[in-house]
Amino acid sequence: MSDQGPTVFNGRYELLRHIARGGMADVYLARDDLLDREVALKVLFPEFANDPNFVERFRREAQAAANLNHPNIVGIYDWGQERGTYYIVMEHVSGRSMSDVLRSTGPLQPDRAAEIAADVANALSTAHQAGLVHRDVKLGNILVSDGGDVKVADFGIATALAGGTDAGLTQHGSVMGTATYFSPEQAQGKQVDGRSDLYSLGVVLYEMLAGTPPFQAETPVAVAYKHVQEKPETLIERGVPVAKSLNAITMKLLAKNPANRYPTAEDLRSDLRRYLAGAHQVPGAGAAGAAGAVAGAAGAGEAAASPTPSAASDSAPVVDPTTVQPATPAATPVVAAAAPVPAAAPQPGVVLDPNALAAQYAAGGYYYDDEPPRDDWKRTAGLLVGLGVLIFILGFLTIAFGRQLGLFGDDGESDTPVVAEKVDVPNLVEMTVLEAEAELRALGLVPERDEQRNETVDAGIVFAQSPAAGQRIDPGEPVVLTVSTGEALTVPPVIALTQEEATSVLQAKGYTVTVENEPNAQEVGTVVSQLPIPGAEHPLDSPVIIRVSTGPERVVVPDLKNKTVVQALNELNELNFIVSDETVREASETVDEGKVIRTTPAKDDIVAAGTTITIYVSSGVEQVDVPSVVSLFYDQAELTIRNQGLIPVPEFRIVPFGDPQVGLVIEQTPGSFTKVPKGSEVIIVVGEAGEPPTTTTTTTTSTTTTTTTIPTSAPPP
């Protein structure tokens, strides 16, 4: 940019400072002088401005995203062409990307991660309904404003779902995006749809919860292979403290087969909202699932009667009408996402569409399981056992009540009931839990503990009880003792401290410390993240993990010779190198014009990640001027031509004997000062003397006659 004054685009967008650099463009903070507001200005790299494919992709980003009006999508205001390149004017989000947040804070609390994922799903739902697939959902494209709002950015490689709108720019079989977040079908170059974005969002959610993505490897190709071939380790197996439901949601998103993922982003958002509302157990497991099927039978039967599933039917349970039992007033409420019961033979008057049920199974309509449960006999057995227990209890109560009324005498003897003497509950508050329990046992009562945090009462002291002191209860009844656990055990913040300082702080709190080394741009020995995060409650018997920087990651500079500039940029960006703003062009006799000759640092050099790499691009074979060698002697002309990097090719022409052009250059091709590639041939025509004239002498007695014959031409040499 010019140093003479502020740079202004379209007469209204004044550039303030550089914000970021992407794979196709630079991003600047700018001020819209017309509307007096800050905006973000994305400027296409000059080397791409002459490429119609890149220009079209850049234009399409502006056009596609401008039509997506949603609070969770970065808004597009304007676009245009100026200074030999193209630009987009976007909403400026004052905040950080999720990749920056994760680097500075480590894994997120589960509820916060679920909230962010729900907002991203909301944005993707709008895009998918408009016929757009993002194709590059990753932490770097999710922005969190200073006020906590979540925004999805960069629809630069989005592709239209509607036929005929792709213009051949993103053809079947091409691979675009970031390898860490590839869906299996994207890694294989197959056709993608909205479910591919949901897989990428699953990788994002996994990384927000675990601190690292599900698959890591040395190269992008190896990561893509793992997405296609390997099963990810679940969050719970990895030791991440998340609820079963959130673990199930995440793993459903990471299903290899798109049919086993959520059908739509809105379905995913609904499940995340259920989780945030408190549905922390996976429904449909064991007796709880059976109870859920009974309690929801009436509504499910009505839903099954509909020949066309509604929008909500993707997540609604399917219940077998033949197993429906009357609900009792004490039936436990069931979450709407309870596991479905496979349908049996329909009852008269109830229409079940087998095609709809099969479609629901195939579409992965079960939010927490990839397949529907197959344990009908267990459910039936459970219901029969429950019914038997209920009959037994009713019979027992009937007999007991009859004895109280004297209906079940024994041979006419008096049946006056024997009533056990009730016990006065003592005051146990402010006693130690051991003292209180001993006193209750001495009175024939059963103590039960309820441990709760209380910052004003010492640990181990009873600060509440139920029943209250003075009440009279039967022997053997429980008394709940609410016992203080003392002040909450929370993990102190140690990020940015040295390893020694962090260890000292944590040990002073009573924690043990586990150190993990990690390449990072931070100074060697500095703590870059911790698990659990600062302020989280954590028991003393579990260690605190601190990740300590070993300095920037050392990376081998790849061999980019004979690759295009675009290929080189993608490969360097994938390895976290910074590419120099200026691409150096130089002549080359071995590398085609427009392709990479070399880099600085050179290939195979081992340097720190984040090092700036300069790319040298071939401008083709060097052009030189043909020197003027006419009238020079042959040896002098030959030396002059060779000194210019050209190859002299002599040709000889016969000239008369004694002609002054003998041994001199008569003509040259190409002519003087013509531009030719270095190493080209220059033909020089050199004069060569013909045969000398012959003399014949005739002698007579009186006269001597001399005849000179000059040949008109000489034979070729």
Residues annotated as catalytic (active site), given as ranges: 136
Angle in degrees, 0-180, between the axes of helices 110-129 and 265-276, rounded to the nearest 10: 160
Please tell me whether residue 173 adopts helix, strand or coil conformation: coil
Give DSSP secondary structure letters for 40-103: EEEEE-GGGTT-HHHHHHHHHHHHHHHT---TTB--EEEEEEETTEEEEEEE---EEEHHHHHH
CA 385 to chain CA centroid, Å, is: 49
Neighbouring-strand partners of residue 697: 706
Query: Are 339 and 285 within 8 A, CB to CB?
Result: yes
Provide the 8-state DSSP code for 658: T
Cα dist. 83→11, 48, 188, 219 in Å?
Answer: 12, 13, 39, 37
Query: Are 262 and 118 within 8 A, CB to CB?
Result: no
Please tell me whether residue 612 adopts helix, strand or coil conformation: strand
User: Would you tell me how many other CB atoms lie within 10 Å of the CB of residue 466?
Assistant: 13
Residue 383 phi/psi, 5-degree rounding, is -65, -40
Which residues, other chains included, contact 500 with Cβ-Cβ below 8 Å and sequence gap of 6+?
none
Query: Are 544 and 506 within 8 A, CB to CB?
Result: yes
Cα Rg of the chain, angstroms: 42
Pairing of strands 681-689, 37-44: unpaired
Only one residue has tokens 């071995």, namely: 590
Q: Cα dihedral angle (136, 140, 143, 146), rounded to 10 degrees?
A: 180
Neighbouring-strand partners of residue 85: 82
